[in-house]
Amino acid sequence: MPAHDHTNSTAANSDSTARVSRRRLLGSAAATIVASAGVSVASGSVAADTDGIAELDFRDGVPDITDAPQGVAEVVFKIHGYSSSSASVERAATFRETARAVGYDETVTAVTWDDSGLPTSAMQSARDTGDLFATWLGDYTDANPSTTIRILGHSMGGILQLETLAAIDGAFTVATADSIGSFETSDAPCENGPFADAIQASAGAVHNYYSKNDGLARLGSGPADCDGGSSDDATPPNYHDIDVSDSVSDHSAYRKETGCVSAIVGNY
């Protein structure tokens, strides 16, 4: 993507012109866990009112800028998890309804990516879509320079969330880039991990909302694990682990629990 002359959602343009693309297949054991749970997770939400929810569908390429709301003060781009592409708009609507219940009335837009096939291919698709979404966001910020941009990725959508920051690579910044129940690796945000630089360069703040009750997530089942290897590196100063275990009972509960969503919008 052209990584220059973009307008930040919260600040002046960055001088960075580089663009990083990361491609990593994840472990087959973890993929098996997701595959066995995919159907039940996908069906885990109650139908929500999808009226007014725009959808950015990346399954057939990069959508038009006009597919998203134009000229709004703030927008949350909600990214679904594995086996949920067909319910992407509904998942975003559930988050919006819960957010409204706790007093947050800004725009929510669904981001849909190709999660077809086995978990390993879906994870690679999430990584690939990060490049496409970053390209789209660069054009969107140019067209909507006053709009505050927020990203929220669930499960494998948390992979896409961090890959988007990596592809932006400081060319512009989004206000927040958060995850709920992220299936990214638990050391991904660490200073010796693959996304620390991108987190600092491409977002005002990054939050990992995790639940110890989440038996499917990896990064999203606890705080970032920077002690698992030979080093004891910390996370970037704008990265924050947020424990929402008291309100989130399982992998599909984040977007519909007011305790969790209150924590999310409280950091907006």
pLDDT in tens, 115-143: 999 999 999 999 999 999 999 999 999 99
* Environment class of 11 (CB within 10 Å of its CB; exposed 0-12, middle 13-18, buried 19+): exposed
Nearest CA-CA partner of 168 in 204, 210, 123: 204
pLDDT of residue 13: 35
Stated pTM of the model: 0.87
Query: Which amino acid type is present at position 236?
Result: P
Domain 33-266 in this protein, CATH class: alpha beta
pLDDT of residue 1: 41
Helix (H), strand (E) at residue 57: strand 54-57
Query: Which amino acid type is present at position 141?
Result: T
What is the Cα Rg of the chain in Å? 17
pLDDT of residue 8: 75
Domain regions of the chain by residue span:
33-266
Q: Find the distance separating the first CA and the last CA of the chain, reported in whole Å.
A: 27
Nearest CA-CA partner of 106 in 140, 72, 154: 72
Q: Which residues of the chain have pLDDT under 50?
A: 1-4, 11-45, 230-232
pLDDT of residue 49: 87
Contact at 8 Å (CB) between 6 and 140?
Answer: no
Contact at 8 Å (CB) between 216 and 34?
Answer: yes
Q: For 58-81, how does the pLDDT look when each residue is reduced to its tens digit (9 = 90+)?
A: 998 999 999 999 999 999 999 999
